[in-house]
Chain A
Amino acid sequence: MAAAVATPLKFTFSSSHGSTRRLQWRNNQRSVKRPYRGAITAKIEHKPPPYSLEALEPHMSRETFEYHWGKHHRAYVDNLNKQIVGTELDTMPLEEIILATYNKGDLLPPFNNAAQVWNHEFFWESMKPGGGGQPSQEVLDLIKRDFGSFEAFVTEFKAAAATQFGSGWAWLVYKANKLNVGNAVNPLPSEEDKKLVVVKSPNAINPLPLLTIDVWEHAYYLDFQNRRPDYISTFMEKLVSWDAVSLRLEAAKARAAEREREEERARNEYEGDDSQTDPQPVEMYGTDSDDSEAD
C-alpha cells in the first residue's frame, strides 16, 4: 500500500479523498491522465514488463514470466477491474484506488488486488536484462551510510527476503531520509513484519520504496523450486536494476521534501483553523499538490 502511495516513478499525488473532489478527479482522469484507448471507463492495465518475457533468461525463465506476469499478475488486474467497474473507483489511477481502498486501515475489498497489481509492476521494473552489479555512486554512498557497507546491505536484504514467512515481498525503502530494508506480507502488514513495512497507512511518514523482490513461491518455483535463497542471490547478482533504484531515489527525495513542505503548510493551516478537529493525513497535502508533480 505505502508502496503505491509513495511510488516515486509514476505517482502523481492527489489529495482527493472526499467524494466531491473525486468527481472532479473522474473528469480529470478521463480527459487527461488516463486516455484509455476508446474505453468509456478507464480500466487498470495489465502492464507488461519493460523487456521481453525471455529477456531475463536463464535467471528468470520465459515460462516463469508466462505464468507470473501472464497469469498471476493478470488475475489481479482482471479481478480488480471486476471489482471496480461501475463504482467510483473505476476511473481512478491505480495509486488512487489503493489509497481509497486502504481506507485508513479498514480495507475495502479491491485493496488486495490493487496493491498486488502495483507491487508486480514495481517488481518487473526492479529488474533488467544484464542487471546486478553495483549501484550508482549516490545510492552506494547512502547504502554505506545506512548499512555500513554494500555487502552488509546485500546480507540484510537477502535475509529479509529469505526469512519472510510464507508469501510476501522484501523491500528496500527510503524512509525519513534513511535507507532500510523491510519485508512485508502482502498486502497487509502484520506485527511480525520487520520494521519497514511497505504496506502501511498512507500518511506522510510512509517509507518510499526503491526496490522489491517478490518471494511468493510462484515467483521462483518453476526455476528454483524450494531453493528460495538461490533465487534471491540470482536476483541480487544478475537481475536487480540499480538504474531503477537511482531514478526512484531521486523521485523519493523530491517526494520526501515535498511531504515536509506540505506538512508544514498543513500544520500552519490547522493552527489557524479550530474547526478542524479531525485532521486527516491524506488531506494534509493541500489542494494544489496535484500539479506539483508531473508524471
Chain B
Amino acid sequence: MALRTLIARNPLRAAAPVASRGIQTFSLPDLPYDYGELEPAISAEIMQLHHQKHHQTYITNYNKALEQLDAAAAKGDASTVVKLQSAIKFNGGGHVNHSIFWKNLAPIRAGGGEPPHGSLHKAIDSNFGSFEALIQKMNAEGAAVQGSGWVWLGLDKEFKRLVVETTGNQASVKDPLVTKGASLVPLLGIDVWEHAYYLQYKNVRPDYLKNIWKVINWKYASEVFDKESA
C-alpha cells in the first residue's frame, strides 16, 4: 500500500492511470533524463531497451491482465480471476519496480552518485555502520540473487530501521512490501535482471553493481525516507 501511494504521488508525467474501456490502464512514464545521460555507468542502448521495451512490455501485459480480470470478474468467473493473479503480480510488479528504479537513477550532473546527507545518512550509519558498508552489503546480496531479481534498500516503518532485501523476478509488489511486513517502504531498488546490464557488462554482474552507485539518486531516496519516517 505504501508503495502504491508513493507511485501515485510521483509527479512523473503519464505515470497516472488512464481510463480505457471502462477500467484504468497504465502507460509508460517518461524518464527524467535522456537515455545517454547515465553513461558510462549504464549505456544508452541498455536504458532505451530497458525503458522502451522491457518496461513497456510489463505495462502492456499488466493492462491486458487487468482487462481480462475485469471481464472475468464481471462474468463471475472465479477461476479465471484466480489464474490471472500471477500475471498481474509479475507484470504489475515489473511496472511498479521499474517506475521506482528510474527515479533511483540520476545523471551525475543532476547529483547522481552523491551520497545522502542528513537523516538518511545518519540512519544508514546507525543501521549498517557506514555508507560504504551498505554499498558492500547491497553489492554482495545483489550479486548473489540467483537468476533475475532485485536488491532493495527499504525502510521498515514498524521497527523504524533500514533493511536490505532481495526479491526474485518482479515480486516486489508483494515482497518486500507486503509479505515482509506491510510497513516496508522501498527507498532504493537495483534491478539485477540480466537485461539491466548484459549488453554492457555481460556475465560480470558485480561490475554493474559497482558502477551503478555512480548514478544513484540519493536525493530521491532521502525524500522518501524523510516523508515516510516523519
Contact = CB atoms under 8 A, between A and B. Distances in A.
Interface of A: 67, 71-72, 75, 112, 165-168, 185-187, 192, 216-218, 221-222, 225-226
B86 A165 contact: yes
Interface of A is mostly: mixed
A187 B90 CA distance: 19
Interface in B141-173: 146-149, 168-170
A249 B143 CA distance: 38
Contacts of B199: 221-222, 225
A217 B148 CA distance: 9
Contact of A167 (B49, B54, B147, B203): B147
Interface in B122-157: 146-149
A55 to B, nearest CB: 21
Interface in B24-69: 49, 53-54, 57
B13 interface: no
A225 B54 CA distance: 10
A166 B169 contact: yes
B147 A226 contact: no
B194 A216 contact: yes
A166 B191 CA distance: 12
Contacts of A225: 49, 53, 195, 199
B203 A75 contact: yes
Nearest to A168: B147
B213 interface: no
A185 B170 CA distance: 14
| Highest count of chain B CB atoms <10 Å: which of A67, A71, A112, A217 | A217
A186 B146 CA distance: 8
A192 B170 CA distance: 14
7 contacts: A166-B193, A186-B147, A216-B148, A218-B198, A221-B194, A225-B49, A225-B199
A226 B148 contact: no
Given A72-B203, A226-B49, A226-B53, A166 B149 contact: yes
B202 interface: yes
B57 A221 contact: no
A167 B148 contact: yes
A187 B195 CA distance: 20
A217 B169 CA distance: 12
Nearest to B193: A217
A187 B146 CA distance: 9
Contacts of B193: 166-167, 217
Contacts of B195: 217, 221, 225-226
A222 B198 contact: yes
Interface centre among B54, B146, B147 (most CB of A within 10 A): B147
Contacts of B146: 112, 186-187
Nearest to B50: A226
Contacts of B168: 166
Contacts of A166: 147-149, 168-170, 193
Given A166-B149, A167-B148, A168-B147, A217 B198 contact: yes
Given A216-B147, A217-B195, A165 B203 contact: no
A216 B90 CA distance: 16
Contacts of A165: 86, 90, 169-170
Interface centre among A167, A185, A218 (most CB of B within 10 A): A167
Interface string B55-93: 001000000000000000000000000000010001000
A75 B199 CA distance: 19
4 nearest CB pairs, A to B: A167-B147, A166-B169, A217-B194, A166-B148
Contacts of A186: 146-147
B86 A226 contact: no
Contact of A185 (B53, B57, B147): B147
Contacts of A71: 202-203
Given A218-B202, A221-B195, A226-B53, 19 more contacts: A71-B203, A112-B146, A165-B169, A166-B147, A166-B149, A166-B169, A167-B147, A167-B194, A185-B147, A186-B147, A187-B146, A217-B148, A217-B198, A218-B203, A221-B198, A221-B199, A222-B199, A225-B49, A226-B57
